[in-house]
Amino acid sequence: MRTPLLAGNWKMYKTTGEARELVEGLLHGLGDVSDRKVLVCPPFTALHTVRDLVQGTPIALGAQDVYIEPQGAFTGAISPVMLRDLGCTYVIVGHSERRAIFGEGDDLIGKKVRAALTHDLMPILCVGETKPQRDAGEAETIVVAQVRAALAGMTPDQIARIVIAYEPVWAIGTGDTATPVDAQAMHATIRQTLGELAGTDVAAAINILYGGSVKPDNIDDLMAQPDIDGSLVGGASLKADSFLRIVHFLPTRG
């Protein structure tokens, strides 16, 4: 009942020319993807270029962050209205790099989720524990708290319009992926939490992505897990051949 979503987070990579080259490569090898959703999230500066290339194709466009106001004196910020204007339908919110490097906390992240929903952008809410937190046996507590904090006070209808990305911080950009079994366990916990917040029917329909050193050689095993509904991919989304192999994961689910 959930359509898998394969999303590329390009982070602060790709000039407009490089973005064009990557998207042309993706479109060249994409083929039939009618049973899955494909998304690219370029840096703000390449959104316009990528929008023109993906219009009318199966590739959707997303941004990597958004501010909470529609417009105003917020130097350097980008609003949800501007993202819609550029053709974005998704936005990543609360990525661990935003949390750790830019000091974003649960309160701001919750406001960003709401701002995205208000303007018809589907937020991809990122959650995940650090290595010390996992080693201390606190991973589930931390992740559940992040989900609850970001979604506090939301209606089931609102929660139904978000995507969650479980991204253990220690796995991002390190080559150290969570095992499929560990990732599945956390995804099941997140789905249970969503059920408590919005009801089991809503929870059963929400896409929960795994992110953290997903590569062509581990995507199939991850996607075989019943609660892993896709992936948010960083490094391996920067080259057409590796992202295409991830997009074309083998559907081994029963």
CA 116 to chain CA centroid, Å, is: 14
Torsion region of 27: left, alpha or beta (phi above 0 gives left; psi -120 to 50 gives alpha): alpha
Distance, in Å, from the CA atom of 63 to the CA atom of 89, rounded to the nearest integer, reads 8
Q: Is 167 a catalytic residue?
A: yes
Least Cβ distance, residue 129 to ligand PEP (angstroms): 14
Closest to ligand PEP by CB, 47 or 172: 172
Closest to ligand PEP by CB, 104 or 198: 104
Closest to ligand PEP by CB, 139 or 154: 139
Contact 212, 241 (CB under 8 A): no
Least Cβ distance, residue 177 to ligand PEP (angstroms): 8
Which residues of the shown chain bind ligand PEP in the complex (CB under 6 A)? 9, 11, 167, 172-173, 211-214, 232-236
Closest residue by beta carbon to ligand PEP: 234
Catalytic option among 95, 97, 104, 248? 95
Burial class (CB in 10 A: 0-12, 13-18, 19+), 162: buried
Closest to ligand PEP by CB, 62 or 212: 212
Least Cβ distance, residue 238 to ligand PEP (angstroms): 9
Q: Is 95 a catalytic residue?
A: yes
Catalytic option among 97, 167, 187, 248? 167
Place of tokens 């992936």: 231
CA 106-109-111 angle, to 5 degrees, is: 115
Greatest CA separation for the chain: 52
**Which residues belong to the active site?**
95, 167
